[in-house]
Chains A and B, each alone.
Chain A
Amino acid sequence: MSRLRKQTWRYDHPIYLAATGTAVGPLEGQGPLARHFDKVYGSLDCGEKDWINAERTLMRRAISFCLAKAGKQEGDIDLFIAGDLIDQSETSNFIARENRIPFLDMFGACSASMETLATAAQMVDSGVADNVLCAVSSHNATAERQFRYPTEYGGPLIPTQTFTVTGAGAAVVTKDPGKVRVKEATIGRVIDWGIDDPNNLGTAMAPAAADTIWTHFQDTGRSPADYDMIVTGDLSSVGSPILKQLLSEKGLDISNVHYDSGLMLYSPEQPVNAGGSGCACSAVVTYGYLFKKLAEGSLRRILVVATGALLKNTTTKQKDTIPCIAHGVVLESAKEGKEGT
């Protein structure tokens, strides 16, 4: 790996996404991207007896689809890197108990999707592993009960609040040539500009996303025109305009290429308040929809910036502000390369 300035990694070898797998819940399955997911569960409990097991089932299914498409067995994988939102990364750890692959747990809140992918690519690039499996998951009800209220509690509707995505995404990263290449990653810094409202994470995370995107362009010397899409994780309809304003004040106009996973995943009439959020939000959009578009070559180069709010449900009650982070990964279509352009 070579490092561009301080925060951006450029992988020396061509690193590829061999395959991806996604599984989502009912509401995501009614959204505009539904046909791009491998498995849509019709009920929130995914046929399990409780929410925790439902989330495990989502991650388990996403991984099995991913491995099947990559033509690999669990034994072919050298390293498993995963993350989720539940305390002690419960889902990831308990899935790692089942597949018995050497395992690294990563907590980056909703930024875990790109944190795991960037690390997986680096592990393959450095040669410590040939095939790395990365996965993340989130579940609306497990997040609801951990960060907000019991799922059956009749809380009020707050317009800035986001809706945790029920789903899981997995990817196998390898040096074997594939259709989608992992090119670079920009590792974010923790940014906290004093927002303390846990129901307004879009506003809290926008400066972190702006910092990572700004740094990425400084490090790589590229401009937004070099990208077909810049996709943020879960800034929602509240945080997205703030991000564009923050960057345009610094002379960077991304408004033509910016999209937010949490807004892509649902149609406007679905009851998700400001938009989707959670680890799975950026993961299912990237591994489901964007991966296909890159593989078929209709997208050439994209930057996925997964945003995470690193709060606990007790820290905001203790009047502390919300630290946030964003990690960016550059994905390129390998199809273009084969044509020699």
Chain B
Amino acid sequence: MLNEPKNYKENVKAFQPKIPYVRNCLKAFLFGGMICLIGQFIQTFYMHFFDYSRREAGDPTVATLILISALMTGFGVYDKIARFAGAGSIVPVTGFANSITSAAIEHRNEGVVLGIATNLFSLAGAVIVFGVVSAAILGIIRLFLEQVF
């Protein structure tokens, strides 16, 4: 019986479309892997032509990927790719850039200060907050342990 309000949420599960787990994972793997592969090419490029060490090449690599992602967001392409790529385009740093750029573009009509600037981190803020809070707490713990032992 589906006509039981209290059990509806549970009983209605039989009517829900199946999630194509394997296909979704495959797409995330291919797109995510591809973005990282492009990142590797960029990194290798910087190491070869600018004589950066591997660690030094990291910063310009990330910055280049962010620039590409921001431009693709501006041209309205990134969200189209993401419909297919799922987590493959959300997890890489390009997804972080997309969340910043898309929020800023969406509110540009509300002005440069109140629209673009205040909304820049409306989606990406969570990443920074959780990153900084966890890094600070874990850093204190690790420093404490290093001093004790």
Q: Let me know if chains A and B touch directly in the complex, using CB atoms closer than 8 Å.
A: yes
CB neighbours of A237 from chain B (8 A): 17
A193 CA / B106 CA spacing, docked (Å): 34
Closest A-chain residue to B94, C-beta based?
A: A154
Q: A49 in the interface, Cβ–Cβ < 8 Å?
A: yes
Interfacial chain B residues near A242, Cβ < 8 Å:
2, 12, 15
3 nearest A-B residue pairs (beta carbon): A154-B82, A150-B106, A152-B102
Q: Any chain B CB within 8 A of the CB of A340?
A: no
Given A50-B109, A203-B15: A149 and B83 interface contact (C-beta under 8 Å): no
Which residues of A are found within 8 Å of B8, using beta-carbon distances?
Answer: 193-195, 207
A153 near B102 with CB under 8 A, answer yes
- The residue of chain B having its C-beta at the shortest distance from the C-beta of A240 within the complex is B15
Query: Which of B52-60, B84-92, B126-134, B136-144 is the contact stretch?
Result: B84-92
- Is A249 part of the binding interface, using a Cβ–Cβ cutoff of 8 Å? yes
Contacts of B90 in A (CB 8 A): 154-156
| Chain A 25-53 interface 0/1 with B at a Cβ cutoff of 8 Å (1 = within) | 00000000000000000000000011010
Does residue B43 face the partner (Cβ distance < 8 Å to A)?
no
| Additional A-B contacts beyond A149-B123, A159-B17 (9; CB < 8 A) | A149-B102, A152-B79, A153-B123, A154-B102, A156-B87, A193-B9, A194-B5, A195-B12, A242-B15
Chain B residues within 8 Å of A, Cβ to Cβ: 1-3, 5-6, 8-9, 12, 15-17, 19, 73-74, 76, 78-79, 81-87, 89-90, 95, 98-99, 101-103, 105-107, 109, 123
Interface digits, A288-325 against B, CB 8 Å rule (1 contact, 0 not)?
00000000000000000000000000000000000000
Given contacts A151-B102, A152-B79, contact A159 B89 (CB under 8 A): no
Secondary structure type dominating chain A contacts: loop
Interface membership of A250, Cβ < 8 A: yes
A249 CA to B98 CA, complexed, in Å: 47
Most B C-beta atoms less than 10 A away, residue of A150, A203, A237? A150
Bound Cα distance from A49 to B16, whole angstroms: 39
Task: Give complex CA distance A49, B15 in Å.
Answer: 42
| Residues of B with C-beta under 8 A to A193 | 5, 8-9
Q: Does B98 lie within 8 Å of A154, measured CB to CB?
A: yes
> Which parts of A70-97 form the interface with B (CB within 8 Å)?
none
A120 to B82, CA, bound (A): 43
- Cross-interface CB contact of A160 among B2, B17, B82, cutoff 8 Å: B17
In the complex, the answer to whether A157 meets B16 with C-beta atoms within 8 Å is: no
Q: In the complex, how many angstroms separate the beta carbon of B112 from the nearest chain A beta carbon?
A: 15
Question: Of A49, A156, A200, A245, which one neighbours B82 at CB under 8 angstroms?
Answer: A156
| Chain A min CB distance to B147 (Å) | 41
Q: Nearest-CB distance from A176 to chain B (Å)?
A: 42
Task: Considering the complex, give the chain A residue whose CB is closest to the CB of B69.
Answer: A154
Residue among B74, B79, B90 having the largest count of chain A Cβ atoms under 10 Å: B79
Contact residues of A between 174 and 201, Cβ < 8 Å to B:
193-195, 200
A selection of 25 A-B contacts at a CB cut-off of 8 Å is A50-B109, A150-B107, A151-B102, A152-B74, A152-B78, A152-B98, A152-B106, A153-B98, A154-B85, A154-B90, A155-B82, A155-B90, A156-B82, A156-B83, A160-B17, A193-B8, A195-B12, A203-B12, A203-B16, A207-B5, A237-B17, A238-B17, A245-B15, A246-B3, A249-B2
**Bound complex: CA A249 to CA B84 (Å):** 38
Contacts A159-B17, A203-B15, A241-B15 given: A153-B103 contact, CB under 8 Å? yes
Tell whether A145 is near chain B: CB-to-CB under 8 Å: yes
Name the B residues within 8 Å of A195 (CB-CB): 8-9, 12
A274 within 8 A of B: yes
Known: A157-B86, A203-B15, A274-B17. A150 touches B103 (CB 8 A): yes
A271 to B82, CA, bound (A): 13
Closest to B109 in A: A50
Interface set, chain A 215-238, CB cutoff 8 A to B: 237-238
CB < 8 Å neighbour of B109 from A49, A160, A245, A250 = A49
Report the bound CA distance from A159 to B102 in whole Å. 23
Pair B5/A150 contact, Cβ less than 8 Å: no
CA distance A203 to B12 in the complex (A): 8
Closest chain B residue to A197 by CB distance? B9
B103 touches A249 (CB 8 A): no
- The answer to whether A245 touches B86, judged by C-beta atoms less than 8 angstroms apart, is no
Q: What are the residues of chain B within 8 A of A157 when measuring CB–CB? A: 83-84, 86
For the complex, give the distance between the alpha carbons of A274 and B19 in Å: 13
Determine the chain A residues whose CB is within 8 A of the CB of B2 once the complex forms.
Answer: 242, 245-246, 249
Chain B nearest Cβ from A162, distance in angstroms: 12
> A250-277, CB under 8 A of B: which get 1 and which 0?
1000000000000000000001001000
